[in-house]
Amino acid sequence: MSDLVEGAPAPAFEMPASGGRTVSLAGYAGKPFVLYFYPKADTPGCTTEACAFQEALPALAATGLDVIGVSPDPMKPIEKFAAKYNLTFPLASDAEKTTAAAYGTWVEKSMYGRKYMGMERSTFLIDAQGRIAKIWRQIKIPGHAAAVLAAAKAL
């Protein structure tokens, strides 16, 4: 678990992203954005979450916000996922899990009594100064994009 708190500087990152893009904290200097972590491309929960953010994109953009999705998947499945669901925002590959570790989203999980490391579904709202404005951990997907939008409007 990370010791990141709201108001703290966002950890720096740089990752390859869908559409041949590269996303980095420095690249968003002076601009607020949403950084969300999801376990695996093209799985039911992650698809629902990504499509909800895609749907909310115009409203988020109206508040000046961009969205970046991050998973530990390699670029090939991420590109396929983005194309399949027409996801226009960048989906980044954190194959080394360095960004996930910095944000405290690469965590020990447990299923059927078996412990393993995995991505915790989390969202971070980063303000224009590069500080963490809001953190959502272990999120529930229904209504999440709307909660992010409400917080974005309050920035």
Residues with active-site annotation: 46
**Which element (helix H / strand E) includes 23?**
strand 21-24
CA count, 13 A, side-chain hemisphere, 90 = 21
Q: Which amino acid would we find at residue 57?
A: L
**What are the angstrom distances between the C-alpha of 136 and each of 22, 104, 118, 121?**
24, 12, 17, 9
